[in-house]
Amino acid sequence: MPGARLKHIMFNWRSELTKRPKVLIVLLIIIGVILWCSSHEKVLSLRERLIAVPCENTESKSLIEDVCKLYERRETMGELCEPLCRKQNIHFSQCLNYKRGKHVISVQCQGHCVEKKTVPAVLKMARLNGAHLTKHLQEAGRELMIKISPKVDPNTLDLHEYSITSESLSVLTSNYLNDEYGYFAREDQDLLSMVWGEDYAEMFRGPHTNLAFARTYWALLKQNEFRISRVFGEWEVFPKIYSFCGPMYLAQHSPPFKSLDALFPFLSSEFPSWKSRAQLAIQILELVQRMDTMEHPLHLCDTKSPHFGFTPQGQVRFIDSDTVFADEALSRIMSSQVCGSDEDCMFYDCEGSCNVQTGKCVEMRTNNNLQVVCAKVFRGPTLAAYGGLLTSPPKAVAAKLTALVAECATETTKDISGIQSRKPSQDTLLRLQRYLLESLNENRTKH
């Protein structure tokens, strides 16, 4: 019983260390040196948090104020603006992220997200890297004008007088989504409605809208998490986006299992029961299956337990979609990299292959979503079998489930061109689901 034995050892260590403070200090120093010097991804993640500068509530509040000032001056718009800026339905709680990536702000949403209810939600926006919000929107307008009317100087235009046609904005959206995802709109599909919402027509006078609307629209579309959540919303793999004001959008609160992000998660008092973990694993497999079978399959390039969250209804969602890419976008990223070996072709968790003759990475990914889920979520990066979601399964399925997870995570094949890949099949996914359901039935029988 390896799991029980390890827990017993760790308990004895903790008991001994409480009696011998000097030993505890020495051990902490040793662990600290190991953490600092190690290149292991899990340790790097922890180390980054130790040295990261947390966000400041004052900065987040100031950002919301800036959005509202632009709204009051009619320089930006959106369905969220009134509840956020005038009706005070959105109540600030705290900022959640570090000073990198995007802005993430926890709020209480009163009556706007869910009718007659106050629910937690999250305000998000891409970080501006030192630029002021006004400047950011001006740059969005400038980019639009270069694409639509390259001879026009955007600095001389009146935001409310200069108009852009719905047709030109729709064509621009279509081209952009096609470049990013290989996405072609259906004949009857209204792309502006999909991205902005059904009320977009209110922003137009006949076929025209002003530049203030158009640049707000473009600033939203350029944000990968917002865009991918809107385009693939019907697949229910990402948290719902309720509304937005300017480039700031309000998303469904979908917190992760925090205990699964600990260095030794199985020692946490919050570590969930096998039943909870097996049910979670089944939902993750279903989510992976949906992503793989979409018309435009999506790649999870940064996969770890804290990136899977739960809606208030208990449904699993992937909550950090900034590094989620469709085939077309990932192929561009892969093929643009110079390499001397396969290791140079890794893009986060998306692995690639190096063509040493050309010195460039090949376009295709050489692993898949299921492999990364098995390796980094089910098995876990810490102490392998002891660190993952599927640690310590019931005896009845332990041997075959552990073996299958290991096979899923590590098995390598080689194609006729000599490219090595790690791509567990649909059959592996179905067998994992079957063993997990079997373990739940076993528990049910015992009780």
Specify whether 296 is located in the same domain as 400: yes
Confidence of residue 48 (pLDDT cuts 50, 70, 90): very low
Which domain-ending residue is among 227, 252, 277?
Answer: 252
**The pLDDT value given to residue 268:** 57
Specify whether 129 is located in the same domain as 232: yes
For residue 17, what are the domain limits? Answer: 2-37
Q: Is pLDDT above 70 for 65?
A: yes
Closest by CA position to 311, among listed 210, 240, 415, 412: 240
Specify whether 146 is located in the same domain as 202: yes
Give, for 183, the enclosing helix (H) or strand (E): none
**The pLDDT value given to residue 99:** 55
Specify whether 106 is located in the same domain as 243: yes
**The pLDDT value given to residue 441:** 86
pLDDT tens string 302-329: 998 889 999 988 899 999 888 899 988 8
Query: Does 110 reside within a domain?
Result: yes
Specify whether 12 is located in the same domain as 88: no
Q: Which two tokens stand for residue 398?
A: 């332990």
Query: Does 442 reside within a domain?
Result: yes
**The pLDDT value given to residue 431:** 98
Specify whether 172 is located in the same domain as 245: yes
**The pLDDT value given to residue 442:** 73
Specify whether 418 is located in the same domain as 296: yes
Sequence-distant (6+) residues with CB within 8 A of 101 are: 127, 322
Average pLDDT, the chain: 85
Specify whether 199 is located in the same domain as 319: no
Specify whether 79 is located in the same domain as 33: no
Query: Does 333 reside within a domain?
Result: no
- Helices and strands (H, E) in the chain, number of each type: 15, 16
Query: Does 334 reside within a domain?
Result: no
Specify whether 94 is located in the same domain as 236: yes
Q: Is pLDDT above 90 for 343?
A: yes
Identify the three-state secondary structure at position 120: strand
**The pLDDT value given to residue 113:** 97
- Please report, for the domain that includes residue 421, its CATH number: 1.10.510
Alpha-carbon gap, residue 249 to 62, rounded angstroms:
16
Query: Does 352 reside within a domain?
Result: no
**The pLDDT value given to residue 266:** 55
**The pLDDT value given to residue 45:** 45
pLDDT tens string 234-273: 899 999 999 999 999 999 999 987 656 554 555 555 678 8
Query: Does 338 reside within a domain?
Result: no
**The pLDDT value given to residue 357:** 93
Q: Which two tokens stand for residue 179?
A: 């470049």
Specify whether 134 is located in the same domain as 281: no
Least confident of 19-23, 38-42, 244-248: 38-42
Number of domains within the chain: 3
Query: Does 362 reside within a domain?
Result: no
If 0-12 CB within 10 Å is exposed, 13-18 middle and 19+ buried, where does residue 218 land?
A: buried
Specify whether 248 is located in the same domain as 262: no
Please check whether residue 405 is in contact with residue 378, taking contact to mean a CB–CB distance below 8 angstroms: yes
